[in-house]
Structure 1
């Protein structure tokens, strides 16, 4: 693996997940981890004109960063492919819903696709972070968010002071600092690999019509079958009685 080789040589590296170095996202992560919206339960993502591969990798990277040491347990994904959409040389979904669950029970639900209607008018990308005592809403790279909690019961629009450098440049600046300190940091690289595994699991889930458990190295897809949920059971063909679980 490329990252393993880089680590073995102690080389610095940068992985350009621009969302992670945005002022509002860094502040949101701090607030959630500090318990300002209670215990984290759900992250909902609505993303128009993009797909699991090209944008979802960044959104899922945010999710695995937010949950920290709580690893992803399984992934379930359904894709509509009726328009045969491709983007950046890759076959992608017309629309997809990706459902992710961590070992600790935190969920992420992400809808991507060519035409996704978001709840907030005028926003093509939208994130909701739901906790037991409040929630946060933000709009991808827009430097603002709404916080609802005990201190802000009606919702407070917060616009942090933007960082001097943003996006890919910020990652390069961070890498330069690591070089100066002779202390490479692979935190973003590691979270990116975890997110990439979720992306791969999502498309495997669609391809094999099954729940995909992580880590992928130990996942074996089930044999294909003609089981058609929603149709009457004819009393033959195997299966199990869901009333006797």
Structure 2
């Protein structure tokens, strides 16, 4: 079974996969979520599913299927998303998206943990009895959620207020760390710029003296090569350091 749930954990729709999960099953639930005017569509591998949904809308050339990706926002569940690559988390992670209200997107897993307990009994039933038994279980689960909805929403609200205050404080701390790091980088860039300018002033004078020697030893030739390399490096790095100082200042 695969379920479509809301942020409060209420089961909206269930689908018997029969032989295993596929994007066809997910598209059916996606279509249902669109009809209910949901804003976000959360899925464990939405990064792979979303291009598929876009292809369906493009290849079928109907406006009905294009709405799935145009009117809804992909949402990668937070804890499943930790196993994805960083760019995937940045592109599809929905926890901090505007309007998501710090949703983790893991409520379906909570319903799965409850409904999986029926597996030990339903596996011995015929399909009609199994569907009836699971339907009764889903109705019972939703009744529990509805009875505790007021308390749960109040709890979410208080948690959101606490999180808002905590995140503001954490942001200010992080902001101070960033400012200290910027000041350190600015100081380091200025010092390197000063050294590079001194090198530009001193090395030509040293090279001029070396050129006046008629038969320099190998050690002097190596020294001249090193000084020439330092001069070229200084010429290259000075514009970069000047830009860094302007940006950091």
Q: Which has the higher contact order (CA 8 A, sep 6+)?
A: 1
Q: TM-score range by the shorter chain?
A: under 0.3
The alignment's TM-score, normalised by the length of structure 2, stands at 0.24
Greater helix content: 2
Greater strand content: 1
In terms of Rg, which structure is larger? 2
